[in-house]
Amino acid sequence: MENRLDYKKTFILGFGFFAISITWSVYNAFMPLLLGNYLKSAALIGFIMTIDNYLALFIQPTVGFYSDKINTRFGRRMPFIMIGMPLAALFMFLIPNTGTLFSLIFALLFMNLSMSIYRSPVIALMPDITAKPNRSKSNSIINFMGGIGSLIAYFIGGKLYEMNEGYPFLLSAVLILFSFIVLFTRIKEHRDVLHYEAAEEKRNLAQGLGIAFKDRSTRYLLLAICSWFIGFNGVETFFTKYAQSYLSIRPSEATLTLSFISLSFLIFAIPAGLIGTKIGKKNTIRIGIIGAVLLMSTIFFLNPAMDNMLLIMRILFLGIGFSWASININSYPLVADMSPVGLLGTYTGVYYLFSSIANIISPPLLGVLIDAIGYKVVFAYGAFFFGIAFVFISLVHDRRVENGN
């Protein structure tokens, strides 16, 4: 029975990623617009969007490591979820209710710190309760839930933003709390976890990180992860400003356009997991990267004044959503499969460490390019970093990876 996927349990666990996705989608789509009320420089907006990630660099790997070590009556992962999710909801509520740039930065900083507390543990629960052969399928269901969160953020959030710029953040806060209640009441670690991998007591955090970085294939995989998150994060963060400044469309139309990526991701999330199980996670990721490079390059060469520009872009965004699903659904299971015994939480933290590095690098880097060249550069930037990711993922050679196990 251990090798059978429990779809109901996986769906419930998906509420954790649902909360993560709606939060980041609201944050990336609407926070630059709130900051734009105080600031004009794209580079400065990009930098402020990354301040929190500097602290997250240390928090997420540390939380991941200690969630491998502790053992409470609530389990190993749940204590961090119990702290992080309610705090994240509180600060999402506070963000639109600030009246100064300083208080806005304060609220966004602590919101992101709260997310860092629970993000690694809630994701690490997936391999805890899922047998290794089913992890791509399980991750596809969880990301399907995440896709619903992003779709709500872009589609409903865009409509709410036109009513009041704070409403998308309030929606996110309510749904974070709802997701926490579902997780806390329906997931019981001591009952649901198949088995905890025994951590070596003498191994400290630095040693755990050292093991991750020492393995050559793991290093290349982490660099690939960092590269594609640089590309995607830059496009997602600046798309609403790109749409306003380069395409001359309203924020609600911009977020509706972004929702086409989320819609496609939602449709292809489960098929992407099945494809990853069939032909291997690495091969599926490579197919997705090639698609992202081609589609973003096509958007870069489109003329914003052409007829039906928005319709064409939305069609291409459907393809980007499929490509992103192929990459994102299979990347974390790949990291989990390559983790040594007792270091699953640590490897989960390292996975998010490199995504945090991408979030630090990408907005200010793209912001500088936008200030120098203009918003036209956004999709060339995305295509370039996805191309870099293809090089790194091609250098990953591991028997577990090559066999898709």
The DSSP-derived string for 222-272 is HHHHHHHHHHHHHHHHHHHHHIIIII---HHHHHHHHHHHHHHHHHHHHHH
What's the longest Cα–Cα distance across the chain?
A: 65
Percent of the chain at pLDDT exceeding 90: 40
Are residues 371 and 245 in contact, defined by beta-carbon separation less than 8 angstroms?
no
List, in order of start, the domains of the chain with CATH numbers: 7-193+204-402 (1.20.1250.20)
Is residue 94 scored above 70 in pLDDT? yes
Query: What is the pLDDT at residue 250?
Result: 84
**Tokens describing residue 277:** 């199980």
The pLDDT of 266-274, averaged and rounded, is 88
- Band (1; pLDDT cuts 50, 70, 90): very low
For the ranges 3-12, 342-351, 356-365, 384-393, the lowest mean pLDDT is seen at: 342-351
Instruction: DSSP for 345-359, please give it.
Output: HHHHHHHHHHHHHHH
Is residue 33 scored above 50 in pLDDT? yes
Residue found by looking up tokens 């709606």 in the block: 22
Convert the pLDDT of each residue in 165-213 to its tens digit: 999 999 999 999 999 999 999 988 888 776 665 544 445 556 667 777 7
**Tokens describing residue 195:** 């088995």
The pLDDT of 30-46, averaged and rounded, is 87
Percent of the chain at pLDDT exceeding 70: 92
Query: What is the pLDDT at residue 203?
Result: 54
Is residue 164 scored above 50 in pLDDT? yes
Query: What is the pLDDT at residue 170?
Result: 96
The number of angstroms, rounded, from the C-alpha of 66 to the middle of its chain's C-alpha atoms is: 22
Residues 351, 344: Cα–Cα separation, whole Å: 10
The pLDDT of 139-164, averaged and rounded, is 88
Query: What is the pLDDT at residue 387?
Result: 98
Looking at per-residue pLDDT, the higher value among 313 and 29 belongs to: 313
- Band (3; pLDDT cuts 50, 70, 90): low
| Bridge partners for 75 per DSSP | 72
Residues 30, 26: Cα–Cα separation, whole Å: 6
Reported pTM: 0.75
Amino acid at 176: I
Query: What is the pLDDT at residue 201?
Result: 47
Sign of CA dihedral 272, 125, 148, 60: negative
The pLDDT of 345-370, averaged and rounded, is 85
**Tokens describing residue 271:** 């098929």
For the ranges 175-179, 223-227, 305-309, the lowest mean pLDDT is seen at: 305-309
For the ranges 21-25, 180-184, 188-192, 361-365, the lowest mean pLDDT is seen at: 188-192
Q: What's the whole-number average pLDDT of the chain?
A: 86
The pLDDT of 281-289, averaged and rounded, is 95
Is residue 93 scored above 80 in pLDDT? yes
What is each CA distance from 401 to 30, 125, 139, 394, in whole angstroms?
38, 21, 16, 11
Between the ranges 68-77, 102-111, 303-312, 338-347, where is the mean pLDDT highest? 102-111
Looking at per-residue pLDDT, the higher value among 223 and 195 belongs to: 223
The pLDDT of 373-397, averaged and rounded, is 95
